[in-house]
Amino acid sequence: MQSGAQTPAAAPAASPPGQRRALSLGGRILRVFLYQRELTPILITIGVFVYFWARAGSATFLNSLSLSSAAGFAGPYGAIAVGEVLLLVLAEIDLSAGQVFLFCPWVMYWMDNLGLPLALSILIALAVCGGVGAVNGLITVRLNVPSFVSTLAMNFILFGTVLIASNETQASPIPLSTSAPSGGGFAGQFMGDWLWAEFAWLVAITIVVHVMFSRTRFGVRIVATGGNLLGAAEAGVPIRRVKVWAFVICSFLAGLMGIVDAVKYGTLDPGNAGVDYILYAVGACVIGGTALTGGRGTVIGAFIGAILIGLLNEGFTLIGLSIDQFYVAVGVVIIFAMALNVQFDRMIARSRAQ
Amino acid sequence: MSAQPAEPTPPAPAGGEAALEVRGVTKRFGALVVLRGIDMVLRQGEVLGLVGDNGAGKSTLVKILSGFHQQDGGDVFVGGERVRFHSVEDARAHGIETVYQDLALIPQLPVFQNLFLGHEVTTMGPLRFLNKRAMRQLSRQYLDEIRVNVPSIDAEAEQLSGGQRQAVAVARAVRAATKILLLDEPLAAMGARESRLIIDLVKDLASSGRVSIVVIDHNYAHLFELCDRLNVMQGGKITIDQQVHETSLEELTELMVSSYRRQLEDVSSAGAG
């Protein structure tokens, strides 16, 4: 293991500098897929899209109702998944985000019923969701409760709170929804009434979180904390603060999309359970290329994963298969994606010098 | 030849030339007492070697000075000013940088981001956008300058060899240190050529007189070359304080053995009484 004699190398590179460029075409393509984890799910999603397009007939599938329905299905899972990626990269998880998604519009509804201005009601609801995230985070980092447990508990607490406070009765109309006095206007369209509003919010959230994750110091700190907790702390990363903020962001995003979703449907059902949402969301993260081991993840991938789940859901209905087959398909895709992620990680580890 | 008595005399009050002074610092983890009153002076521009058995408390002392651990008792002075570090950031604000035994690199981050971890070049404002271009350029420039060779500054730390990782960790601390550099076994996983490079790097830094250095190592040949003075830690105390040019390896070994014997006798007599 000797490097060129002339250069007093601190650490001799295992291969001469030219060798990287000498990789075969196949090797280079593999490298791209190894490091651009979103690429695989993007290709799969395009494949699924083409498949349904061919099977169901382009007229049916490209019908804007079909597509917006797929996109609408992806909206809630996508928004939760995008926030969840930050936590998965930190090697944490938020199981309560689905319940926060359902809880947030209730808070808005209650505040509105108290006679507060609608904008203030929304702000309070979002602040409460951020607060829930802060509590999740503080319990996790201060009391050393694993986040799997602290957020599981929070999930039950929120579920019960809604049941108690709502007296187990549905709420409607939700402010800003088409049937509400405040609905129908621009604000209503913007906050969920428009056919594509939920999807537009998902795209916006994805872009903002992606930029935050890949282009800011906070993003680096998330990767550092999740990749090497002790090392990050030794290098001066405020690991606890980073974790708490990630919980806050995840909860906030779930709550925000919760309001959009509630405005879209116009009613709130206290019996809805958030667990469904969180399981799809974690599934979307995994499909997108985020491992649950920490240190690696992709926000764009989570978005793609949610789109893929939405497409499968809509496509299966269109080609005349039932929701039952959809569940099986989602399961298969998740296992396939996770196995691929693990293999990719091993390839990266194996490609190290020496 | 001025072999000092094994029990060090308490250091003189911090004069202008003490870059770092430690007085009576104690630390315990639960029932385990790791530091039993450390007195240590690091003079301005000096390279101080810290030796001792595994478990003697060397790394704990370094982690207190780097702000990672907080001492239970005693005081730390930087440039004569009494300081209390609550975090690594606190210590950094006083110009103290550390190379930890475990290197504190992030496997999933590229070399240039590891090099700037905690010192990111960012835009102003609360969002702190990264200036990756500047960090890449500065990394390449700096690693070339100190002749550290990595496959690419965009390679993830996970892909580096042990020696390369160590070189990156040392480079990070050396680049950022303005007053004090703490090195906890910086040469452990390195081959001869790599060690030479790091030793030269540390010597360069020391000869500038700008930065004072504490180095832990088990290799006496390295320490005798690198250090101005050696402190021996045994059982959570500093038992020997020797100028390198006034001692030899044989003499130092002799002192350590006799000090170790004395400790054993103390323990057995305490047990008997």
Tokens 């061919």, residue?
A54
Long-range Cβ pairs for the range B149-153 (8 Å, 24+): B149/A3, B149/A7, B149/A9, B149/A10, B149/A11, B149/A12, B149/A13, B150/A11, B150/A13, B150/B111, B151/A13, B151/A14, B151/A15, B151/A17, B151/A20, B151/A353, B152/A20, B152/B111, B153/B110, B153/B111, B153/B112, B153/B115
- Enclosing H/E stretch for B169: helix B162-176
Quick one: pLDDT band at residue B272, thresholds 50, 70, 90? low
Q: Which two tokens stand for residue A205?
A: 């959230």
Domains in chain B, please, with CATH?
A: 18-106+180-272 (3.40.50.300)
CA distance B235 to chain A (A): 25
How, if at all, do strands B32-43 and B180-184 pair? unpaired
Cα–Cα nearest to B175, from B151, B209, B124, B141: B141
What's the complex ipTM? 0.86
User: What DSSP character marks residue B239?
Assistant: E
A15-28 residue pLDDT tens: 444 444 556 788 88
Residues from chain B contacting residue A296 (CB–CB below 8 Å): 108
d(CA A33, CA A277): 29
Residues from chain B contacting residue A13 (CB–CB below 8 Å): 149-151, 164
Mutate to test the interface with B, among A3, A15, A220 (most CBs of B within 10 A): A220
* Domain presence at residue A129: yes
Q: Do B107 and A295 touch (CB under 8 A)?
A: yes
Tokens 């879209």, residue?
A264
* Candidates B108, B149, B165; nearest CB to A12: B149
Residues from chain B contacting residue A9 (CB–CB below 8 Å): 147-149, 193-194, 197
Q: Do B149 and A349 touch (CB under 8 A)?
A: no
A55: containing domain? 39-341
Q: Do A233 and B68 touch (CB under 8 A)?
A: yes
Helices (H), chain A: 25-35, 39-56, 58-61, 64-89, 97-113, 118-142, 147-166, 186-188, 197-215, 217-227, 229-234, 239-265, 275-288, 299-318, 323-350
Q: Do A11 and B167 touch (CB under 8 A)?
A: yes
Q: What is the pLDDT along chain A (354 residues), one digit of tens a residue?
A: 333 333 334 444 444 444 445 567 888 888 888 878 888 889 889 988 888 888 877 777 777 777 888 888 899 999 999 999 999 999 999 999 999 999 999 999 999 999 999 999 999 999 999 999 999 999 999 999 999 999 999 999 999 999 999 999 999 889 898 888 887 788 888 898 888 999 999 999 999 999 999 999 999 999 999 999 999 999 999 999 999 999 999 999 999 999 999 999 999 999 898 888 999 999 999 999 898 888 989 999 999 999 999 988 888 888 888 888 888 988 998 898 888 888 887 887 776 543
* Candidates B122, B149, B163; nearest CB to A217: B122
d(CA B107, CA A349): 10
Residues from chain B contacting residue A237 (CB–CB below 8 Å): 117-118
Q: Do B149 and A220 touch (CB under 8 A)?
A: no
* Domain presence at residue A17: no
* Domain presence at residue A2: no
* Domain presence at residue A71: yes
How, if at all, do strands B73-78 and B18-29 pair? antiparallel
d(CA A207, CA A220): 17
Q: Which two tokens stand for residue B194?
A: 């790599």
Domain count, chain A: 1
Residues from chain B contacting residue A224 (CB–CB below 8 Å): 106, 109, 117
* Candidates B89, B130, B164; nearest CB to A220: B130
Q: Do A234 and B66 touch (CB under 8 A)?
A: yes
Residues from chain A contacting residue B165 (CB–CB below 8 Å): 11
CA distance B26 to chain A (A): 20
* Candidates A8, A217, A234; nearest CB to B88: A234
Q: Do B118 and A228 touch (CB under 8 A)?
A: no
d(CA B257, CA B251): 10
d(CA B112, CA B123): 17
Does residue A306 contact residue A281 with C-beta atoms inside 8 Å? yes
B43-101 residue pLDDT tens: 999 999 999 888 889 999 999 999 999 999 999 999 999 999 999 999 999 999 999 99
Cα–Cα nearest to B131, from B144, B112, B150: B112
Cα–Cα nearest to B48, from B230, B181, B223, B200: B230
* Domain presence at residue A350: no
Cα–Cα nearest to B191, from A14, A4, A11: A11
Q: Do B106 and A295 touch (CB under 8 A)?
A: yes
**Within 10 A of B172 (CB to CB), how many other CB atoms are there?**
26
* Domain presence at residue A5: no
Whole-structure pTM value: 0.88
* Domain presence at residue A28: no
* Domain presence at residue A121: yes
CATH number at residue A329: 1.10.3470
Give me the pLDDT at residue B271, please: 60
d(CA A323, CA A15): 52
Q: Is the pLDDT of residue B189 over 80?
A: no
Q: Which two tokens stand for residue B213?
A: 């250095």
d(CA A227, CA A232): 8
Q: Do B149 and A15 touch (CB under 8 A)?
A: no
Chain A's closest residue to B93, CA to CA, is A236
Q: Do A11 and B149 touch (CB under 8 A)?
A: yes
